[in-house]
Amino acid sequence: MYIKNKEPYFNRTPELRMMVFASLFAALTAVGAYIQIPIPFSPVPVTLQVFFVLLAGSMLKSKWGGLSMIVYTLLGIAGLPVFAGGSSGMGVLFGPTGGYITGFILAAYAIGKLSEKAEKSDKSGLFINALNMSAGVLILYACGFIQLMFVADMGPGTSLALGVIPFLPGEIVKTGVAAYIASTYKL
């Protein structure tokens, strides 16, 4: 068989390649939902979902990172048990933890945009990735905090104490590891 184009196959199909990676990150986020540590005083468990959101945004950039989290969300809405604790459905999106899921989409997109801007100015690296991901974590938790506050009928202080502060040490670790991975490996 004669192949006219000697360029590797994966270089000729960048869109398909990115679709596969976006699907992979949606699947990894779903798996991350099952790796959880319940916190007795909060309706929000500690999961590895945020770790994969950070990587999706940084490695896939805005378009594909955001789309990967949209796919993840749509899978959960369709009834697949991909949300934390194996839950699914629209009810989860309108429940106390739904803001975090919405935040996944916005965070991945924002991290991707910041990563694209950093690469254009030739300033990407571990520290910049960590800053970009920290901004994404801020967006994610802002969405989660607001919805938790309104849906669970909590005051801002209670919502902050139950839905944000207990998770920050873990997010610092996840951000550091994800920034290292994104700085070391390219898709």
- In the 3-class helix/strand/coil scheme, how is the chain assigned residue by residue? CCCCCCCCHHHHCHHHHHHHHHHHHHHHHHHHHHCEECCCCCCCCEECHHHHHHHHHHHHHHHHHHHHHHHHHHHHHCCCCCEHHHECCHHHHHCCCHHHHHHHHHHHHHHHHHHHHHHHCCCCCHHHHHHHHHHHHHHHHHHHHHHHHHHCCCCHHHHHHHHCHHHHHHHHHHHHHHHHHHHHCCC
> Which domains occur in the chain, in start order?
18-37+44-184 (1.10.1760.20)
pLDDT tens-digit map of 149-174: 999 999 999 999 999 999 999 899 99
Confidence band, pLDDT 50/70/90 cuts, at residue 39: confident
Report pLDDT for 168: 92
Report pLDDT for 4: 59
